[in-house]
Structure 1
Amino acid sequence: MSGFGEGEGELLTLTYPKPLPMRLDRWLVAQRPEQSRARIQKFIESGYVRVNGVTGRAKTPLRQSDTVELWMPPPEPLPYLMPQEIPLDVLFEDEHLIVLNKPAGLTVHPAPGNKDGTLVNGLLHHCPDLPGISGKLRPGIVHRLDKDTTGCIVVAKSQEALVKLQVQIQKRIASREYLAVVHGVPAAEHGTIVGAIGRHPADRKKYAVVHDDSGRHACTHWTLVERLGDYSLMRFKLDTGRTHQIRVHCAHIGHPIVGDPVYSRCRKLPMALPGQALHAFQLGLDHPISRERMLFEAPLPEVFDKLLAVLRRRTQTGMSFPPEALSMAEHSLLAFITAVRQDPALQQQLSATSAADADEVAAIARQAGFEVRPADLVNHRDGLLVDYEDEDYFMKPQWWELAG
């Protein structure tokens, strides 16, 4: 980077108006919502911020009537971002913004060790003018979704749209609502979780609710949508947008999200999942140019629908086991048993196969979304999954009509 005021760039002169002191970095972040906190910190570290003519530091306390000068050089060219043809599920698009339904497994922007194959790479192919917008690795990105979180995400296609959309996120004009399946059942029907989020004190790769100055205020509203035996379907609305916010807050209240590899200790799941069962199903915002109120909804991904179906069938038939009682394979097999007893189409499909062929039965189970192996059908624990005197239960014709 060049020095203060050198070369092309923008010089802003601001006056601190408040009677109470405030840290320089925190005030600048509030004044320039289109810039990330990390970028403001970098400006300060590079000597691009002066307070009353003196180079400022992040912790410099501002006092009423202080003059703050901020030099913003033009964005650096993207170092290695390449357009890539990645399928995008577009919910809405015009010349100012694009709203997408992000799938699981797709990282939003490049990071060390993950330089391509991201949503940004796909957007650069879809929208060639994005490179000049926002930071060098996050062109057009208004907000993030975790890699395995699915659903609505909005991307700006112009600098003006980016600034206005980020202000909407910051001032809670934009609304973001999520659905998640969690372990356990909350005691109340609804509630609010308020807890500052910061780096986990023992594991810096994780986040946690913290009780010191390292955390940032976070607020999550929740509603219990449906009881599903030992699980619950919950709806969340964000007041803030901290990293991993819903995942951290759910774990904090003792109801971690099903399938969360970081914040849930339970590895025994009702069925195989690619990651946490968390979906950003609804996004509301004012159009950055026309100011028209817009509401977008992303349909549940197929695996989320299957998870709900499995849990509903288990709940309807009264099949509920403590998680520690079953292995992961037994969870999947139990879900398959319940599904077959409830689904005539599956019964018809099984009737058309050779009943004694465990490979064929397992193949049908996997096709229906259940991770069942031939060995699971032969080596199941009698009396726990099925109550039948013959261990070859699954090899019997119309086994779903037998005791069990």
Structure 2
Amino acid sequence: MSFSAYFHCYCRSEHLYSTQGEIIEIFIVEKLERGKRLDKFLSERLPALSRSVLAKFAEEGLVKVDGRAEGKNFRLKEGHKVELELPTLESDDSILPEAIDFEILYEDSDIAIVNKSAGLCVHPAPGHRSGTLVNAMLSKYPQMAFVGSVKRPGVVHRLDLDTSGAIIFALTPFAYSNLVGLIKAREIKREYKAVVHGILPQKHATINMPIGRDPAMRRRFTIFPSVSSISKRAITHYDVIEEYDHASLLSVKLETGRTHQIRVHLNSIGHPVYGDKLYGSKKDTIIERHALHAEKLELVHPRNGKQITVEAPMPEDMNELITILRNR
């Protein structure tokens, strides 16, 4: 989403359109605000927008003080009139709110945890310019447009296109910075359920193998013998929950969070996820997508310090797969 799109989304939610069809917000600097930098002043008056976004507006000439465009470092005086003004948005790359149904597992003023459906892309990407979970989230939480990355507002971690289950979104800049820190510190616990081919000889094990992009097939990732410039440390823990005829149900916990990590690691030990056309067999027909579900999230709330545990119910297609395997 462009910065112009950010501002339009915000103003749509706050009804700040002028009669000429422009978007405008006007503030008068008060006595206690004199001497403040322009970006700090704006961040206090518009708390839904991060200071970096407001600084970008100033760089693009969208902020005027007494009718003159000023930069983010400009010092304000009492009585200054500060304006944010923007022509009508005409942008093809903006992320627009879309009325798409999704299940909310937990929400408050800072964060939302939702149950992503399989086949729903988390954020716009090549081939998925609209109809994503972010588009849906912006429809319910317009303030999320100003949080985090320009192209991935509110997103602090991701799930693969065909992976279902619990995913966290930040609704405020405060929550975003803290959740990103928790992810990096590995303090958010993520537990998955996976149906895999075969019977695993070790019922409880850890897979500790670096992962990087497959040089022979860029869509895939693969394991490497050691961490290097093209691979990163990756650790996956699993427990066997049930065994069937040539198949197993696993509980999987991530210690790191690399792209396709669970799928790559399980395939590397000879037990690909059921339905995984990229890493397993294209002949799997019982389920239309890979049988991987983000079932559980545990974290300490970034603002109040309370423990949050959220579970996403097993989706119907995976329940049907398990029923078929049990009855073989």
Partner of residue 162, structure 2: 148
2:203 matches 1:189: yes
Query: Is contact 2:274–2:284 with CA below 8 Å preserved after alignment?
Result: no
The answer for the alignment partner of 1:159 in structure 2 is 173
Match of 2:232 in 1: 216
- Could you report, residue by residue, the CA deviation over 1:7-45 in whole angstroms, capped at 9, with x for unpaired residues? x889xxxxxxxxxxxxxxxxxxxxxxxxxxxxxxxxxxx
Deviations 1:236-269 (A, max 9, x none): 1001110000011011111000001110025144
Secondary structure of 1:303 counterpart: helix
Q: RMSD of aligned C-alpha atoms?
A: 2.2
Structure possessing the higher relative contact order (Cα contacts under 8 Å, 6 or more residues apart): 2
Q: Provide closer, same or farther for how the CA distance between residues 82 and 266 of structure 1 changes in structure 2, counting only shifts above 3 A.
A: closer
Do residues 263 (structure 1) and 279 (structure 2) align? Answer: yes
- Cα distance in 2, alignment partners of residues 294 and 140 from structure 1: 19
Matching of residue 173 in structure 1 with residue 163 in structure 2: no
Assess if the C-alpha contact under 8 Å between 1:80 and 1:115 holds in 2: no
Give the distance between the partners of 1:125 and 1:266, measured in 2 at CA: 36
Question: What residue in structure 1 maps to residue 115 of structure 2?
Answer: 101
Q: Check the 8 A contact 1:148/1:274 in 2, yes or no.
A: no
CA distance in 2 between partners of 1:121 and 1:288 (Å): 24
TM-score, normalising length: structure 2: 0.71
Partner of 1:86: 100
| Greater share of helix | 1
Partner amino acid, structure 2, of 1:243: T
Aligned to 2:82: none
* Aligned partner of residue 154 in structure 1, secondary structure: strand
Q: CA deviation at 1:300?
A: 0.3
Aligned residue among 235, 241, 254 for 1:225: 241
Letter in 2 for 1:93: E
In the other structure, the counterpart of 2:302 is 288
Letter in 2 for 1:238: L
SS in 2 for 1:284: strand
Distance (Å, rounded) in 1 between the aligned partners of 2:325 and 2:215: 35
Determine the C-alpha separation between the residues in 1 that align with 2:161 and 2:311.
Answer: 19
The higher radius of gyration belongs to: 1
Instruction: Indicate the residue corresponding to 2:254 in structure 1.
Output: 238
Q: Which amino acid aligns with 1:91?
A: L
Q: Which structure's residues are more often strand, by fraction? A: 2
> Is residue 191–residue 221 contact of structure 1 (8 Å, CA) maintained in 2?
yes
Looking at structure 2, the residues matched to 151 and 113 of structure 1 have their Cα atoms a distance apart, in angstroms, of 22
2:39, 2:220 → 1: CA distance? 36
Which one-letter code corresponds to 2:170 in the other structure? A
The number of residue pairs the alignment matches comes to 243
TM superposition shift of 1:213: 2.9
Distance 1:297 1:207 in 2: 28
1:132 and 2:165 are equivalent in the alignment: no
1:51-99 deviation digits (Å, cap 9, x = unpaired): xxxxxxxxxxxxxxxxxxxxxxxxxx99421110010100111111101
Question: What letter corresponds to residue 278 of structure 2 in structure 1?
Answer: V
Deviation at 1:113, TM superposition (A): 2.4
Q: How does 1:31-50 map to 2 (within 5 A)?
A: none
Counterpart CA distance in 2 for 1:285 and 1:148 is: 24
Aligned partners of 1:221, 1:168: CA distance in 2, in Å?
A: 19
Matching of residues 374-389 of structure 1 within 5 Å = none
Amino acid at match of 1:231: A
